[in-house]
Amino acid sequence: MIHDNSEMTTQRRRTDIDRQWWKEAVVYQIYPRSFNDSNGDGIGDIPGITEKVGYLDDLGVDVVWLCPVYDSPNHDNGYDIRDYRAIMDEFGTMADWEELLDELHARDMRLIMDLVVNHTSSEHEWFQRSRRREGKYEEYYYWRDGSPDEPPNNWQSIFGGPAWSYDDNREQWYLHLFDENQPDLNWRNPDVREDVKEMITWWLEKGIDGFRMDAINFISKPEGLPDGDPDARLVGHEHYAHGPHIHEYLQAVYDDTLANYDTMTVGEMGGTSIDKTAEYLGERNSGLDMMFQFNHLAVDDGPNGPWSLDGWGAWELTDFKEIVTRAQDELAAEFWEALFLGNHDVPRIVSRFGDDEEYHEESAALIATFLLTLRGTPYIYQGEEIGMTNAEFDTLDELDDVMTIGKVEELIEAGAIDSFEEVRGLVNYLSRDHARTPMQWSDDPHAGFTDGEPWFGVNDNYRDINVDAALTEENSIWRHYQSLISLRHELDTLVYGAYELLLPDHEQLFAYTRTLGDEEVLVVLNWSDEPTTFDAADIDSSSAEILLSNYEQSPENPHGREFRPYEAILYRL
Ligand code: GLC
Ligand code: CA
């Protein structure tokens, strides 16, 4: 826990920087289903990713995080795993996967896999045997007695509806924090923990470089599974998040598996405070190198969280700066931070935090500048490097995501809305499906993603926004990402330098310095569509070298303090 090692922390600050390859890395996240289809069946696949390894190398990224590619019936696009040691047929074979790993390693890139062990698919052999009460599998999941019309407690599924389903076969209820096809593994059972560890070692032995750990703060549930506060936004969350044995379980996983390999790990923690997040980091805690925490992404939530019917979508830069700064100070400075704004579960970053129309290029480049100049390890989600935007969904039928559909159905059942129409705006603001439209490679049919019919509709704007166009244009968003990544590789200051926020109350500018030894870098971002003036009394940028900017800088006014809409400048002071 952090309070126990404050002495160690002070000491660490005084000594040299603690270099780690994963701190210096830039990660690229791939959602395989939507990345690149190699065989024309409309579904992205592993050979399709291998075809693009050169593309990723040109961009300059160091690590690829692959969302689940395991055998799965795809109720939640691979986050419902049927067999942890097999590749999903639609994605290819184990030999294809091995070839991808080799190709990445041949170019000095690393591969991390998604570790989904809070739950399995209901089609997983463990669950099938558990339903039949077979041998050691009997208590592999959370089974409870009760009459078929009354769940054992009041917990709600994160995807909408009760967190329990009744199994007619075993005549008992089983727990699922996510979809009914994703039963929660019973981590209280030591056999479960052993099986999971064996599986982790199996993948590490295949030569992977680490894991992204899905919903990892949910794996320990308290004895008795007590009712949650019925008025909470996620009923039961106070019990199943950070449960009583969480650190013990994670520590054991680390000691018995990861500790024997050179890996990086990043945990996913929804609905977690920065304080709580810190408890998972540090050497003798849980062996997690960094965490995806979502406090900064809550900035535009309505009063009842992301699925508030009113009051969503508005956010103040000053609030955002405060949250980001807290995480920089309390996570990145003390331990490390996972830097991200987008992933496969949230809307497109330029639509959400920038301007996907008038200042599309400028704002996408500004956001990139932000992500790649903070302290921590940046994660780029596929398509961000070309400024892919949200799509437009007119009817519920056009959506695919189990969560969006589940949430809409929950609202209808609760009588909060009568039809999809009433939440169309909200869904178009936050659906996970925005991030899942196929990658836009070219202006060929279906954006060059497939020669067949894509499994999910391509965003109409692919004729303008695509990789081919970005590669031919000199000042494209893509080039900006490439330059930022290479600057990060050159300048230790961008990786390890101390972060200091300037002008906390400024409503348009997000400005900060990064300092390491006698090198100081200044980042000034005009995060708005109106011009403004940068004036920080103790900083003189007039003689500073501009390392990168997203506008052309005129020779007459080389270091002007006037910032144009979404102008972003990186200086060396
Ligand atoms: C995580 C994943 C998400 C998935 C859920 C259940 O939040 O990022 O895509 O639906 O866990 O596995
Ligand atoms: Ca395919």
Q: Which residues form the pocket of ligand 1, taking CB atoms under 6 Å from any ligand atom? A: 76, 79, 116, 178, 214-215, 268, 344-345
CA of 249 to the centre of ligand 1 (A): 20
**For ion ligand 2, residues whose CB falls within 5 Å:** 37, 39, 41, 43, 45
Does any domain span residue 72? no
CA of 260 to the centre of ligand 1 (A): 27
Does any domain span residue 224? no
pLDDT value of residue 418: 95
Catalytic pick among 45, 214, 289, 410: 214
Give the count of beta carbons closer than 10 Å to the beta carbon of residue 273: 13
pLDDT value of residue 555: 65
Structure-token pair, residue 456:
């999910």
Does any domain span residue 146? yes
Residue 356 is a catalytic residue? no
Q: How far is it, in rounded angstroms, from Cα 506 to Cα 526?
A: 10
Does any domain span residue 335? no
412-417: Cβ within 8 A, 24+ apart: 413/161, 416/309, 417/309
pLDDT truncated to tens, each residue of the chain (573 aa)?
334 444 444 444 434 688 999 999 999 999 999 999 999 999 999 999 999 999 999 999 999 999 999 999 999 999 999 999 999 999 999 999 999 999 999 999 999 999 999 999 999 999 999 999 999 999 999 999 999 999 999 999 999 999 999 999 999 999 999 999 999 999 999 999 999 999 999 999 999 999 999 999 999 999 999 999 999 999 999 999 999 999 999 999 999 999 999 999 999 998 889 999 998 986 656 789 999 999 999 999 999 889 999 999 999 999 999 999 999 999 999 999 999 999 999 999 999 999 999 999 999 999 999 999 999 999 999 999 999 999 999 999 999 999 999 999 999 999 999 999 999 999 999 999 999 999 999 999 999 999 999 999 999 999 999 999 999 999 999 999 999 999 999 999 999 999 999 999 999 999 999 999 999 999 999 999 999 999 887 788 777 889 999 998 876 555 568 999 999 999 999
Q: How far is it, in rounded angstroms, from Cα 238 to Cα 222?
A: 10
Looking at all shown ligands, the one closest to residue 90's CA atom is 2
pLDDT value of residue 557: 56
Q: Are 307 and 301 in contact (CB under 8 A)?
A: no
Residues 6+ apart with CB under 8 A from 142: 174, 175, 183, 184, 186, 221, 225
- Mean pLDDT for the chain? 94
CATH classification at residue 144 = 3.90.400.10
Which residue, of 140, 175, 210, is where some domain finishes? 175
pLDDT value of residue 9: 47
Does any domain span residue 547? yes
Catalytic pick among 76, 195, 268, 361: 268
DSSP string, 333-379: TTS--EE-S--TTS--HHHHHS-SSTTHHHHHHHHHHHHHSSSSEEE
Q: How far is it, in rounded angstroms, from Cα 519 to Cα 570?
A: 13
Q: How far is it, in rounded angstroms, from Cα 268 to Cα 145?
A: 31
- Which residue, among 142, 152, 102, has the nearest Cα to 118 in the 3D structure? 142
pLDDT value of residue 93: 98
Atom of ligand 1 minimally distant from the CA of 403: 10
Amino acid at residue number 406: G
pLDDT value of residue 77: 96
- Which residue, among 101, 294, 289, has the nearest Cα to 213 in the 3D structure? 289
Does any domain span residue 503? yes
Which residue, of 175, 193, 213, is where some domain finishes? 175
Coil, strand or helix: which one is 19?
coil
Does any domain span residue 299? no
Atom of ligand 1 minimally distant from the CA of 402: 10
CATH classification at residue 545 = 2.60.40.1180
Q: Are 343 and 11 in contact (CB under 8 A)?
A: no
Atom of ligand 1 minimally distant from the CA of 76: 10
Does any domain span residue 301? no
DSSP H helical ranges for 224-287: 237-240, 246-256, 274-279
Residue numbers of the domain that contains 157: 125-175
CA of 268 to the centre of ligand 1 (A): 9
Q: How crowded is the C-beta side of 1, counted as CA atoms within 13 Å?
A: 6
Residue 474 is a catalytic residue? no
Looking at all shown ligands, the one closest to residue 48's CA atom is 2
Coil, strand or helix: which one is 162?
strand
The kind and range of the H/E element at 167 are: strand 164-167
Atom of ligand 1 minimally distant from the CA of 118: 12
Which residue, of 155, 175, 195, is where some domain finishes? 175
**Total domains in the fold of the chain:** 2
pLDDT value of residue 286: 78
Structure-token pair, residue 138:
């009997």
List the end-to-end C-alpha distance of the chain, in Å, as a whole number.
37
